[in-house]
Amino acid sequence: MYNNSNRNSQSTQPLLTAHWRRILTLGSSGPWTKGAVCRNPREEEHKQVTDIMQSLFAQTRPGLSPFPSSTLLLTPVNQAKQLMRELSLLNFRHQLLQVDELVDESRPRASPTTTKAQLQVALANHTRSRLMLVDRVLGGSGDLSTITFVDLGIAADKWLDRVEPLPSFWKLMDSWSGTKDSIWNRGADSNISKMPSVGEEWERVLVHFYVQTHFNVIGYAPVLPRKI
């Protein structure tokens, strides 16, 4: 979900985690009272998310209030955490594809020897292959129509569950511009699954490169599917 409440804004920014937490509590706290004066950062945050939700519904559900008049039950903690988890995975997938679109140097380009039809076919095949890599990064659950929102792929907690999708993350970013660490190609070692400490060091290199690249081209740090 993105903040479009300021229609004069030059860019669309993803919501902060603090905003998501506040949105999840609106069912119990209710919306900010129109015209009320904010006395502290917490109240300012309350007002911001109220404005965001009202703006979103005005654009997508005209005439429908985002705040039902009846009192809602509190969202169970586990359910709220799962929702945050799902949103994080969606954001991660979207941001990964967005950066890949901007910095991928393997993308087919027009040339004097390539026809328009050939270029279109090459681009379609290339896009398909990139989507497949992202799907593998998320353990086969990257497709938005089938995503399961469980801890698969590089979002898994255990190294043995992450080691298989990590090469896809590596291959995806291998064609990205930017300076890569000396151990960048460590993923080519077929025995890396048997060396957790060595593999996790390589994993941190991949994540650092991704975070830095995202920051360089987008301007802010990305959402990650797990704590590295």
Per-residue pLDDT reduced to its tens digit, 153-209: 788 888 888 888 899 999 999 999 889 999 999 988 888 888 888 999 999 999 999
* Model pLDDT, residue 68: 61
* Model pLDDT, residue 208: 95
The rounded mean pLDDT for the chain is: 81
pLDDT at 29 over 80: no
Element (H, E) at 121: helix 116-137
pTM: 0.64
* Model pLDDT, residue 9: 42
Residue pLDDT, tens place only, 106-127? 999 999 998 999 999 999 999 9
* Model pLDDT, residue 42: 84
- Region of residue 66 (left: phi > 0; alpha: psi -120 to 50; beta: else): alpha
Residue whose C-alpha is closest to residue 176's, from 124, 108, 100, 110: 100
* Model pLDDT, residue 7: 43
Rounded to whole angstroms, the Cα distance separating 10 from 160 reads 43
